[in-house]
Structure 1
Amino acid sequence: MNVIDDLLLNILVLTLPIMVCHILWLDRPGPISFNPSNRAFIGLICSLAAIFCMSHPFFTITGNNFDLRTIPVLVAFLYSGIRSGLTVSAVILAYTYYIDGSDFLWIVTLSALLVPFILAFIALSNWKYRTPKVMFPSLLAFISALATFCMTMLYRIDSNVSVDRSFLLYGLLFCIVHMLTMWLITYLIVRIRENIAMRQEVQRSEKLNVLSELAASVAHEIRNPMTVARGFMQILSQSEVNEEKKRIYTTMVIEEIDRAQSIITDYLSFAKPQAEKLEEVDVSTLSLKLSNLINPYASMRGVEIHIDMESSLLVKANSEKMIQCLVNLTKNGIEAMPSGGTLLITGFKKSAKVILQIKDNGIGMTPEQVNRLGTPFYSTKNKGTGLGMMVSYRIIKHLADSSK
């Protein structure tokens, strides 16, 4: 019973760090890569696992310990490279000398034979490009365990220690345990990597799907003003149109082209990734610039703007993006009051956070409309596209993420 307990404990120690390492990579963007720091970390984990296995062999026969120290060596060689594998091998030799110096020469001889065999097997099998990937590491573990057992048997014969049937039975069990443990570890690594790759592919597909739908919607929205502009241009090409109508039609053409340009600008602001320079921005100072930008538009619609800001409201943000976001929000607030009203912009500190509020006394929105805010081409305005609010949502989300 103790043999099974020690064996299961060894397998747990070998599999748990590998699972934790790969699961941590699930939240990292981009493909899995092994830079020097990752390789060093894998080498360290495998070295600690080898030391544990040597300290807790799952059975012992007349002075010979049978443990799973070979598994961390194989994992380091297979998944982290020659340097990590040699590092783990050196740690095993050093720990062997520390716990039992009498067998050190024997372990050095075994390592000198086993390590070149492992490297030759990896180089000749080309296992990473074969299917199934779990077969070759499992076979390598079985052969390595068999070679270790054979060398141990020769050592016992040379030392005049008996080799009976029970020893051979334990040796067979030793090889099978190595093969099954390596199969389990390799299977876990392969499955986790497949899940990582699948997740990244799904994320890419979702992004492409959203952008393709958005591009189709943009094309549809642009087609309308372009059709109107083309119709007016055809009318203007006729000689019987008087000057007054030409002026009216030309104004309408310009308005429709400006509308199409606005749609394209908002789409590019959302779809095109840009490296933003973050800096400390004083929101109270930024509100003055906002007031200068939005006041003429508010006056034209009979809306009064009141700004109540505390001083020194510092946040880390991109000032241009933040102004764009505030202009979009205040413009929506003004347009929500078709009969005029008051737009109140307040800013204050609450604990360590800066709170910025924009309030209007307009027509309001239903809960369903609020839930749909920020989706492309949803707007409560007759000629709205919803892209301005979507861009504002993205700017706010980026600002929130960068402040964490």
Structure 2
Amino acid sequence: MSNPIRVYSVVGGFIVYEFVAELALHFFVMMMIPLSCFILYRRCMDTKTTILFAIANFAALFLTMSFPANISGNIHFDLKFIPLFIVFFYIRPAIGILFVVFIILFKSLVNPSEVLFLLLNYGIASVIFIIMSTFYKRFSFMQKIIFGACFYIPITLTRYLAIVRSGDTDEILNLIWFSIMSAITLTMVIYLIELNNIQLSMMVQLQNSDKMNAISQLAASVAHEIRNPMTSVRGFLQLIKSDNNLTEEQGMFISISLEELKRTDQIINDFLSLARPETKSNELISLTKTIEEVFSFMKPYANISNVLIECDIEQDLFILGNSHEMKQVLINITKNGIEAMQSGGSLTIKVYQSDGEGVVDIIDQGIGLSEQQLTQLGQPYYSTKTKGTGLGLMISFDIIKRMNGEYKIKSKERCGTTFSLLFPLVPAKDYRGISTKIS
């Protein structure tokens, strides 16, 4: 008597069981992962939401392992690889290791004879995942899909050997269905998570754009009106300070007032920089010369702050952009690095070329930044300094973008920060083709 639960049809001599429907059910279980990602990361990405996302992945892992798609005997399939993959590459490798431990413990209770095989299999996979986790973030969408699919090749081969050993060669078709369904599921999960990340990025950019527009309008309307009376106040204070009849305390008060007026003037300059219309310059800039000028300019400030500033500059590097704005970016980031070392230290500026790009590394030994602080850098009014406005870095990042460059920030609390600026280099053979002065 045939099994009433199974529905089958004959295709080329093979029987397609309800196994396909069971795999489809596992597909919808895996959809818990991108769904939870959409819900949890709709507003922000913090530690709490990351933990909840990890729990959602664990739930998907537990369900797919607890109710595998059985074929016959000990042959069964599940999609545990998918939540494991997502945890390693979209959360943290450390949590991925915990998932691996759970998988091995769970399997050892069901079939203790597989423990050594699982330790070897998942041990190798974990090492590869940890190594590749840094590079994975730089992959394009298609590269991420291909990378995930590559890991299903050895999984499929392992399943094939297990089926051949058991003598159930008629189940090869089910293995094919499993591989196809697994690849489709992983593709969908990666696609939906990446789509959510893109939407979050666009949302943040839109919010920052609104803030910048508001700041620009404010700057254009009031900056000059503030500067005019402030200049008069500064002039009178300087005249009063020159009076020999002032007490020491009065002189100190006037010096503090002048210092605060100077800081206010710098803030106004930052506002005016935002209010200026964007203009793309086509100057040929000597990156080497610009760094040398910034080094000479910042060296006295570094000495006052008990900071040793060093340079390692490669010669004959040229980029396109605005020399004044380039100096503004370099001075701002260098100044931030010096101020991050309140107890002194060493700041290194390295300039070199890599893959057709001019790279500027500004490395400090300061207090460093947390992951949350790194995500907020460059936002209006956000600063790690007590007297900072956050406008300096925001303007710097905008200038880098206008010069077709990019920036990377590596930092760890109490271990310092590295700012890497990358700009497309102008090849030496093209110098003469640019009809602008070299600055």
Q: Give the alignment's TM-score, normalised by structure 2.
A: 0.43
Structure with the greater alpha carbon radius of gyration: 1
Name the structure with the higher helix share: 1
Q: Give the alignment's TM-score, normalised by structure 1.
A: 0.46
